[in-house]
Structure 1
Amino acid sequence: MVGETPRGDAAPTANASSAANAQPPASGGSPGHGGKAGRRALLLGAIGVVFGDIGTSPIYALREAIGHAQRGVEGDLAIIGVVSLAFWALMVVVTFKYVMFLMRADNKGEGGTLSLMALAQHAIGRRSAWLFILGVCGAALFYSDGVITPAISVLSAIEGLQEAPGLNGRLDPFIVPLAAGILIALFMVQSRGTAGLARFFGPITLIWFLSLGVMGVAHIFDDLSILKALSPYYGIKLLIADGFLGFVILGSVFLAVTGAEALYADMGHFGKSPIRQGWLFIVLPCLTLNYLGQGAFLLSHPGAASNPFWNMVPQLVYWPMLLLATAATVIASQAVITGAFSVTQQAVQLGLLPRLDIRNTSETQAGQIYVPAINSLLMVGVLFVLVTFQSSHNLTAAYGVAVTGTMMVNTLMSFTVVRYKSKWPMWAVLLTLAPFGFIDAVFLTSNLLKIPAGAWMPLV
């Protein structure tokens, strides 16, 4: 298998034939539906499946990053600086790198690490051991992401029970079992297909994002000085003031953008246009408002830094918000599960995995697939991680390496694609990719510092 030239248009194996019958959409297209109703359905589905992962980051990202920042810097700079870093991470890593740049590189509508590998192999017209190794490492890291994301997402929501009014910690011993039960149920319904799940998940996730935005707007007025975080000056100032600790902070700030790699891998499920529209007009504004709201809340309530997201939820709507957060984190898990199915199909087509049972779950939408073996293995891995790490705080150390490693691989392989396939001049390639590569390297290195605390898991 290693000796074969990877080909993005390779015929699927016999057992994967059902997935090959419906070709992925043409570049830039959206699978399946036509007309305004179809486009709205794809947009809603993309919001439900593709953005679920990155949409749950506000629950834990600022908690971890501000906790580190306040060890080295006192006062408002720790809060404003972290919010600034989170906002610009969303802009640079997700908006510029993935939504505007990498989503232009698709292999017959499919995205992700292995699509980039196939495109790169085609571009140079020969086998490349370097590209092969990068592709395998990227896919392996994405699978580890598929194990960690469901665990940290659902745990972070269920841990809201610790702050729930009237409970006084009585349900704390049941948090991990509850998370395990919810995740088992999620894996059990995967055979129904992404299309059916998207119709169910889309409206819930849309309500979740709107709730994040409303909650952020409600608290921005706690301290309007948080609006200074929209300037990169304060993020850079925090990194300089914190010295080496600022480098460590970046590993936690990166939690705000986890999910971008799943966004790219899930491109074949919904097409480019719905994903871009959903990000630019709904997801990015709501996430930005929520991070600004958390920051303003912390500026006016410094003692709430232990869990800013849940502390700023009004008691009147605490339980509805807890239920909505749990649903949103279940949906976040769906983003990487469907991405893992897509990566598996591509790996089988490229000869990187043996023949697997890959089932088409939609008669009208290409790319809607279910892989029973991968579904089972992911479920076992998620349950193992839950039992081993026990809390979302412990899992954050493991999470960053899986995601930053995948993003670094994507950047490295995109060099070959834009240089030899798109025929960009070298100066344009370097001008575009050097900043992305530098940011990826900084984030990856800062997360590798957490190997003793759990970052060893995705590397293994």
Structure 2
Amino acid sequence: MTSITDVPETVTETAHHPQSSLPALSLAALGVVYGDIGTSPLYAFREAMHAAGVAHGGVERADVLGVLSLITWALLLIVTVKYVLILLHADNDGEGGTLSLLALAQRAMGRPSWWIVLLGLIGAALFYGDAAITPAISVLSAVEGLKVIAPGLQPFILPIAAVIIIGLFLVQNRGTAAVARLFGPIMLVWFAMLAAGGVYRMMGDLSILSALNPIHAVTFVAGNGTLGLIVLGAVFLAVTGAEALYADMGHFGRKPIQLAWLFVAFPALLLNYYGQGALILSQPETHENPFYLLYPQKLLPVVVLMATVATIIASQAVITGAFSITQQAVQMKLLPRMRIRHTSDEQQGQIYMPAVNGVLLVAVLLLVAGFGSSSALASAYGISVTGTMVVTAILAMVVIHKHWGLSLGLSVAIMLPFLLIDLVFLGANLMKVAEGGWLPLCMAAAMVTIMLTWRRGTMMLQKKEADTALPMKTLLPQLESESIAAVPGTAIILTASPDKIPTALLHSLKHFKALHEQNILLTINTANIPRVSENDRVEIETLTPRLRRVTLNYGYGEEPDVPKVLMQLRRMGWQFDIMSTSFLLSRRRLRLSTRSNMPGWQARLFIWLSRNSAGPSDYFRIPAGRVVEIGTQVNV
């Protein structure tokens, strides 16, 4: 078998960026990576103080300092140390995120591990809950600033939020490449506003800085029992979005994300939270909306406008993340094929998935209508994020031990403290299951069920086909027989098992007694790395003068493009005309078997998913006019 080695390697966007672009990349990272965590001050401190009972028992200085100290050390330990300083080094060829960590852990293990796959599925499934809740709570919390300006606008908050959300999802098909350039500068202004508002209020009470002492956090949790855990669940709202800085590493690189956090986002967030704390101590009646009341009345319209824009940017980042993680899941055969549209000719990562966009839009609107306020949604928010962080910590232990080569004891010692912190936060958030926490759990359970069903069904079909298909070597001697007519042109037969006779080829020989002059068995493999270099893209093996076996290798972060590779092969000297080339595909029609290896409900779900998945011609970007589908029936 040979591989193409003389195709020039294309430049792909990786984490290895030139040093000269560091400031620009750090600015861009502010717009995409830190949109979610950057809008947390709108509601995080307010909800933590309400959980502490400020609305009922008055404002106690010890409670304010305790909550601020908890927020401070959550940002320092979870975001700064765990993610920025440790996990950003656990990259899979420059890519981060739950599925990238899953692929890296699987590769490091050297063999399939069901519990690692299950952890990855749970982490990915929880992300979808986050992707639905983030736009709802962010946009609602921003628009709720209108009632601070004019209380009479209260009845219009939900309709305005719904209009903004619908508009946001409707423009997804146009792409965001043009406006994305503005995200960084806008978020830089937003973080400057956060810092300015905090400093403005802190100047009246610099003693608020004593909350930097972790003793206040420990004393608050230890002295309040169950209430302390409930407050911890609300405090965690301050670190939602931390997973984004790891997931988006491939777009910007490690250093830009680290610099943007350490020198802009982190200090701005701390200053704002401390300003809110100082405000509540001096004016206890501001506990209903301490963020907006940081600013003078005449500046409120500008602040509300900037908050709305910032939350739209934060929502856009999560929506784009949902598209990306779905594409990775499809490539890793965890979800059925879906239609993907590229919205930018320059950036491969700019994609639009109509099915995902539609489902997310409906989910976000239902959340806005069902919960009605950002405070009500806050109870549902933390479980998705804390669950994902627990999964990330466990997978990171595997990577540190198996991939980095550190001892098991040292690997556990590095991540166990963070895992324990994540578990405490998860337990605190689970206390809010009845108040809305059930929602992300149900969403995650539904996604895990879908992914496990699809994975089990596809593996079962592959095994069934492998057991019944004939080995290719049994057919090779017959292919040169004169009884098999030669049809002008080229036939490309897609197959998942290159060492077996594809159903499409077998049926073609059986019914037409003919073969094309050139025949290619085409297999598309997905590697456990995000991108495959062009030098390793194609492997070619000549079986007979009329039959070749071609394997295309793609990373889980890439979209297969069969016509593009074929054009490369033509430039290399392969003589075939794309207009006289036929693509033979096997189209399976699944039927429910009376003796299925799957439970009846799961088999029906798998059949439904299969029937609604995108066809191979759409997904692999094969010209529809050149496709010949040969149908077969398979019992499931």
Common topology (TM > 0.5): yes
Q: CA deviation at 1:401?
A: 0.4
Aligned to 1:80: 65
Range with greater deviation from structure 2 (101-110 or 388-397): 101-110
Q: Please tell me the residue identity of whatever aligns with 2:264.
A: I
Cα deviations by residue, 1:173-210 (Å, 9 ceiling, x for unpaired): 11111111111111222234344332122211111100
Distance 1:111 1:35 in 2: 20
Distance 2:418 2:383 in 1: 17
Q: Please tell me the residue identity of whatever aligns with 2:106.
A: Q
Distance 2:254 2:176 in 1: 17
TM-score (norm 2): 0.66
Distance 1:281 1:358 in 2: 37
Aligned to 1:8: none
Aligned to 2:108: 123
Counterpart selection for 1:65 from 48, 52, 64:
48
Cα deviations by residue, 1:239-291 (Å, 9 ceiling, x for unpaired): 11212210111000000000011222222222222211111111001001111
Q: Which has the higher helix share?
A: 1
Q: Which has the higher strand share?
A: 2
Cα deviations by residue, 1:6-55 (Å, 9 ceiling, x for unpaired): xxxxxxxxxxxxxxx97551xx424xxx563x443322221111111000
Q: Please tell me the residue identity of whatever aligns with 1:391.
A: S
Counterpart selection for 1:139 from 124, 132, 136:
124
How many residues align? The count is: 431
Aligned to 1:29: 16
Matched, 1:434 2:416: yes
Contact 1:29 1:273 in 2 (8 A): no
Matched, 1:92 2:77: yes
Identity, in percent, stands at 53
Matched, 1:367 2:352: no
Contact 1:216 1:290 in 2 (8 A): yes
Distance 1:362 1:41 in 2: 20
Sort the Cα spacing of 1:45 and 1:189 in 2 relative to 1 into closer, same or farther, 3 A.
farther
Counterpart selection for 1:53 from 36, 40, 46:
36
Sort the Cα spacing of 1:333 and 1:279 in 2 relative to 1 into closer, same or farther, 3 A.
same
Distance 2:73 2:83 in 1: 14
Unaligned 5+ segments in structure 2 are 1-9, 443-636
Range with greater deviation from structure 2 (263-272 or 440-449): 263-272
Distance 2:347 2:124 in 1: 24
Distance 1:390 1:22 in 2: 47
Contact 1:213 1:286 in 2 (8 A): yes
Q: CA RMSD in A?
A: 1.7
Distance 2:379 2:241 in 1: 16
Distance 2:175 2:79 in 1: 27
Cα deviations by residue, 1:310-334 (Å, 9 ceiling, x for unpaired): 2222101011111011111111112
Map of 1:265-414 to 2, 5 A cutoff?
265-414=247-396
TM-score (norm 1): 0.90
Contact 2:58 2:284 in 1 (8 A): no
Q: Please tell me the residue identity of whatever aligns with 1:29.
A: H
Q: Please tell me the residue identity of whatever aligns with 1:317.
A: L
Contact 2:59 2:284 in 1 (8 A): no
Aligned to 2:398: 416
Unaligned 5+ segments in structure 1 are 1-20
Matched, 1:43 2:26: yes
Q: Which has the larger radius of gyration?
A: 2
Distance 1:280 1:150 in 2: 25
Counterpart selection for 1:241 from 217, 220, 223:
223
Distance 1:178 1:22 in 2: 43
Q: Please tell me the residue identity of whatever aligns with 1:259.
A: G
Aligned to 1:221: 203
Counterpart selection for 1:181 from 160, 163, 177:
163
Distance 1:329 1:242 in 2: 33
Q: Please tell me the residue identity of whatever aligns with 1:352.
A: L
Distance 1:406 1:197 in 2: 30
